[in-house]
Amino acid sequence: MTRVFTLTIDDREATGREDETILQVARDHGITIPRLCQLDGLSNIGACRLCVVEVRGVPKLLPACTTFINEGMEVYTNSERLQKYRRTIIEMLFAEGNHICSVCVANGHCELQSMAIQLGVDHISLPYFYPKRTVDASHERYALDRNRCILCTRCVRVCAEIEGAHTWDLMARGSQTTVITDLHQPWGTSESCTSCGKCVQVCPTGALFEKGNAVGEMTKHNSFLKTLAEMRENDK
């Protein structure tokens, strides 16, 4: 039998099931914790670290998307320290890639951009890397611009977990890490890709987009994900 825990989040009383994460319980109680890699309907991996929270008695910060609640937990989601860390994470994402909003297909519809605005990141204090990254436009309908990829792996997860194709994966390590299709071959030559476009719709930035869109025209529609996940849950 699933236990129900009582805890406090930002000094407000909250309850949730033992199999729920801090992120879920907080949201159920009207508290929004910033996140970029997490998306309802996909597994949680705690990659972006934007959702880190403070838990009393725990010396390190914990990602709210992968930390389950516990009885008597005291969680703080929005301290000055957390705000500073989150802004720094956003700055690092911008500095690590080549994000030129003004000429991006996702300008105005980008989760990285709106998160930066929400968190008050109005300039980047870190030196830019200006990495040399490639664009893969070999697919007939979609394109990948690695300059805008923040390695959230939503594309990898949706392809493996929902579509079941597992076309996408990661290659290399550290700042060299990159998303690849199949065995690191041009997307257009991938045999596993079903061209379903789920990866494009869940991508939080303009890294994956539909061809033919001009600047600012790529709006993402990922509500299908929740519906699909619920339907599959009902089938079980």
Q: Which is nearer to other proteins, 51 or 179 (CB)?
A: 179
Q: Is 145 helix (H, G, I), strand (E, B) or coil?
A: strand
In angstroms, rounded to a whole number, what is the distance separating the alpha carbons of residues 32 and 17?
18
| Binding segment toward other proteins, per CB under 8 A, in 77-85, 131-139, 156-164, 169-177 | 131-139
Residue 105 near other proteins by CB under 8 A: yes
SS3 content of the chain, % helix, strand, coil (to 5): 30, 15, 55
CB of 22 to other proteins, least distance (A): 39
Q: How far is the CB of 206 from other proteins (least distance, A)?
A: 10
Beta strand extents in 48-167 (DSSP E only): 52-55, 62-63, 74-76, 135-136, 142-145
Q: Of residues 181-200, which lie at the interface with other proteins (CB under 8 A)?
A: 188
Binding segment toward other proteins, per CB under 8 A, in 73-81, 84-92, 102-110, 156-164:
102-110
Site membership for other proteins, residue 178 (CB under 8 A):
no
Q: Is 216 in the site for other proteins (CB under 8 A)?
A: yes
Q: By CB under 8 A, tell whether 231 contacts other proteins.
A: no
The window from 117-125, 156-164, 171-179, 213-221 that contacts other proteins (CB under 8 A) reads 213-221
* Residue listed under structure tokens 């929902």: 162
List own/partner pairs for 74-80 with CB under 8 A and 24 or more apart: 74/7, 74/8, 75/7, 75/8, 75/9, 75/10, 75/22, 75/26, 76/9, 76/10, 77/9, 77/10, 77/26, 77/31, 77/33, 77/53, 78/10, 79/54
Q: In this complex, which beta carbon is closest to other proteins, that of residue 161 or of residue 217?
A: 217
- Binding residues for other proteins, rule: CB under 8 A, are 102-103, 105, 107, 134-135, 137-138, 140, 143, 145, 188, 211-217
